[in-house]
Amino acid sequence: MISPDLDTVAVSRPSYLCGLIGSGISKSLTPPLHEAEGQAQGVGYVYRILDLDTLALGEDALPRLLASAKLLGFDGLNITHPCKQAVIPLLDDLSDDARTLGAVNTVHIANGRLIGHNTDWSGFARNMDEGLGGAPTDRVVQLGAGGAGAAVAYAALTRGVLHFTIIDADATRAQLLRDSLAAMFPDRVVVSGDLSAVPAAIGQAQGLINATPLGMAQHPGMALDAELLRPDLWVADVVYRPAETELLRRARDIGARTLSGIGMAVGQAVDSFRIFTGLEPDALRMQEHMRRLLAEEDSAALAASPS
């Protein structure tokens, strides 16, 4: 039997080129997460960072970056802050969810066309399904109406929340999101408020979602007073670095059910990988790899810290 020519095998092996556009993303874990799943699937997979800060570019560079991605044969791009809305006018079409939410975090490039999708909402919905099964969802409070807030709120309402309260330091922003969601879900009660509404809203709620940056390594702390937490109040966070935020730790310490942001981060990556490649990713494998990446990051930080 004649052994196959290695060059022929390499040429016939499916390969994908993808990337991430945004600001301050040089340390993103998305590239190794996607590349590891590509390797496990037996395909070539290269994922590149296009950090606007590192490249000294602004949002006005988006048209050039998208044109370059098409020219260079990219199969897809993930889009993050501050480009999720700015990218929309530059696309050829949108999926229904991206059009509904008015935000894009995933762009599929195929046959010279740029198609925008939103996998932030589906990532959080997947996380709720897997991590909060059976939890009561009649009344839920969400803190944060910003970039992630709309997708997370939409996901929560698709998962059956009946009374949803959106609270943000910017009351106008909370009201605008409330109005949008109320139009999408006319059979639900959707209300909004500023930070003064937090105690009363949480006092009546069964669940709490943190969709603010508070809890991230660069934004430590909590978006509410820890005394408002209760054992019967489930708590979900969109932050995944660190894996356990102060909010989740405080909630867990008093016996509350908690949901880490890791599931959302992996869930949106799972859906993006599928869109980019047409292959079915292994969600559990990707979650395990993300946990390893986070553990390695924590170990490296500990080793670098002064004794």
207 forms bridges with which residues in the sheet?
140, 234
Task: List, in order, residues 6 or more apart from 229 with CB less than 8 Å away.
Answer: 208, 235, 250, 251, 254, 256
Asked whether the beta carbons of 84 and 116 are under 8 A apart, the reply is no
**Closest to 165 (Cα-Cα) out of 135, 125, 209, 100:** 209
The residues that are catalytic are 84
How far apart are the C-alpha atoms of 228 and 198, rounded to whole Å?
Answer: 9
End-to-end CA distance of the chain: 61
Task: Calculate Rg over the CA atoms of the chain.
Answer: 20
How far apart are the C-alpha atoms of 14 and 260, rounded to whole Å?
Answer: 34
DSSP string, 92-117: SEE-HHHHHHT--SEEEEETTEEEEE
76 forms bridges with which residues in the sheet?
18, 108
Q: Please report how many Cα atoms fall inside a 13 Å half-sphere around the Cα of residue 38, on the Cβ side.
A: 22
- CB-based burial of residue 2 (10 Å sphere; 0-12 exposed, 13-18 middle, 19+ buried)? exposed
Peptide bond into 242 cis (omega under 30): yes
Tokens of 215: 């809890």
